């Protein structure tokens, strides 16, 4: 096997030879320096096409982001978008399910406003409506014509993935499939926190509401499904704009549901956690994930950096706290998890758990909060902090 230095040298030599041959070939085709200069200054059709697509993408992202908001309810966050000048916002029902009647929305520029949760879609459709009161002339998005989304068309997703501070994140991809009932499958990258945000076409019109991301199970060595890949599958799903239009018509006719009509999710969610030292209250109870040994667990995910020093504390007066930290290795169906650290007791006569470690690489990590006893239930507090 060639060593790395020799391979780099060989690549450089070959590149130089190819470049030299290319220059000679051009000079043979063009009889004078004047012709050569004229030909170089003339942009190619490929360059023009790339420039046009880049300008179009920039325009869609910059203009649409003004009408996209982060939705915060004190327990988590999602995304949403304005559909009228007087403050009507569409988001996913699961973003505000169980939230207070008033939530906080954050605009692109960081300004905040209270918004009333005014209703949910009927029939288990994952949509909810918010209203910012006493506001006019707000930026808003137009809805595309139902059925206008086609396989292969370019699309843009805007929202606040993973962390509320990631607001105004715009990704692009293509429609890869139109599923049953018009659900749009696409490749624009989305993560938790994108839920409720718009999926846009090249004109900046809404063709869907980002709602799900396909995930693959990640197993530990004992065969437990310890997590699901948080991104990288390339299969992201959005409710079609026809659902949005029907819901808005119900809002105008005051036919919305006062509570979420979603069916209970079969898989417990994975909560996002920020390494800012904030204390999170949790509990182990029936209905949580259960390991093969009968222990209940809660999962938290975060995105870490190589050589980042972190401390995770789990405290409880009800249960024998047990912490495990995993690194996700890969982001496809072949993903696996690597155990980074675990802790049962911080010390003698201290049943609280603590992990202090240095992260080995950039990427996603999962915190498993559980008990050391089978079937043990109770409340706990969790705190994670990063130190420079």
* 262 secondary structure, DSSP code: P
Q: Is 195 a catalytic residue?
A: yes
Q: Give the Cα separation of 250 and 103 in Å (integer).
A: 22
Q: Give the Cα separation of 96 and 75 in Å (integer).
A: 10
323 membership: H or E segment, kind and range: strand 321-329
Q: Which tokens sit at 211?
A: 């709602």
* Other beta carbons within 10 Å of 369: 28
* 63 secondary structure, DSSP code: H
Among 77, 99, 126, 260, which one carries the catalytic annotation?
Answer: 126
Q: Give the Cα separation of 187 and 173 in Å (integer).
A: 5
Q: Is 126 a catalytic residue?
A: yes
Among 77, 94, 140, 186, which one carries the catalytic annotation?
Answer: 94
Among 195, 231, 321, 371, which one carries the catalytic annotation?
Answer: 195
Question: Smallest Cα–Cα separation from 71: which of 198, 174, 179, 182?
Answer: 198
Contact 215, 207 (CB under 8 A): no
Q: Give the Cα separation of 173 and 72 in Å (integer).
A: 27
Question: Smallest Cα–Cα separation from 323: which of 281, 381, 267, 269?
Answer: 381
Mapping DSSP to helix (H, G, I), strand (E, B) and coil, where does residue 185 land? strand
- 122: Cα separation from own chain's centroid: 26
Q: Is 344 a catalytic residue?
A: no
Contacts of residue 183, defined as CB under 8 A and 6 or more positions apart, other chains included, come to: 208, 237, 238, 239, 240
Q: Give the Cα separation of 82 and 89 in Å (integer).
A: 4
Catalytic residues, which ones?
A: 94, 126, 195
């Amino acid at each position: 096997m060639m060593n790395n230095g020799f391979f780099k040298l060989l690549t450089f030599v070959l590149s130089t030879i190819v470049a030299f041959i290319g220059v000679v070939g051009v000079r043979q085709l063009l009889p004078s320096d004047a012709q050569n200069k004229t030909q170089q200054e003339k942009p190619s059709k490929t360059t023009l096409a790339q420039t046009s697509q880049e300008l179009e993408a920039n325009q869609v992202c910059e203009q649409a982001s003004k009408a996209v908001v982060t939705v915060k309810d004190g327990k988590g966050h999602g995304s949403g978008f304005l559909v009228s000048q007087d403050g009507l916002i569409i988001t996913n029902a699961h973003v505000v399910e169980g939230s207070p009647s008033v939530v906080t929305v954050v605009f692109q520029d960081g300004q905040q406003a209270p918004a009333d949760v005014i209703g949910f879609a009927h029939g288990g459709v994952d949509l909810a409506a918010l209203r910012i009161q006493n506001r006019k002339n707000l930026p808003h998005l137009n809805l595309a014509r139902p059925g206008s989304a086609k396989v292969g068309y370019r699309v843009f997703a805007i929202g606040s993935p993973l962390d509320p501070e990631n607001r105004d994140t715009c990704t692009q991809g293509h429609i890869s499939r139109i599923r049953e009932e018009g659900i749009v499958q696409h490749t624009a990258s989305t993560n938790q926190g994108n839920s409720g945000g718009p999926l846009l076409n090249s004109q900046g019109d809404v063709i869907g509401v980002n709602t799900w991301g396909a995930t693959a199970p990640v197993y530990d060595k004992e065969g437990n499904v310890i997590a699901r890949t948080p991104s990288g599958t390339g299969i992201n799903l959005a409710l079609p704009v026809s659902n949005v239009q029907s819901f808005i018509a119900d809002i105008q006719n005051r036919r919305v549901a006062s509570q979420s009509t979603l069916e209970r999710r079969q898989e417990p969610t994975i909560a996002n956690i920020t390494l800012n030292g904030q204390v999170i209250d949790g509990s182990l109870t029936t209905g949580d994930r259960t390991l093969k040994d009968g222990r209940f667990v809660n999962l938290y995910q975060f995105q870490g950096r190589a050589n980042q020093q972190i401390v995770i504390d789990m405290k409880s007066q009800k249960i024998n706290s047990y912490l495990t930290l995993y690194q996700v290795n890969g982001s496809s169906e072949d993903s696996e998890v690597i155990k980074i650290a675990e802790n049962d007791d911080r010390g003698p006569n201290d049943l609280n758990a603590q992990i202090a470690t240095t992260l080995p690489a950039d990427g996603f990590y999962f915190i498993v909060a559980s008990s050391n006893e089978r079937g043990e239930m109770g409340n706990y507090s969790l705190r994670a902090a990063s130190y420079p």
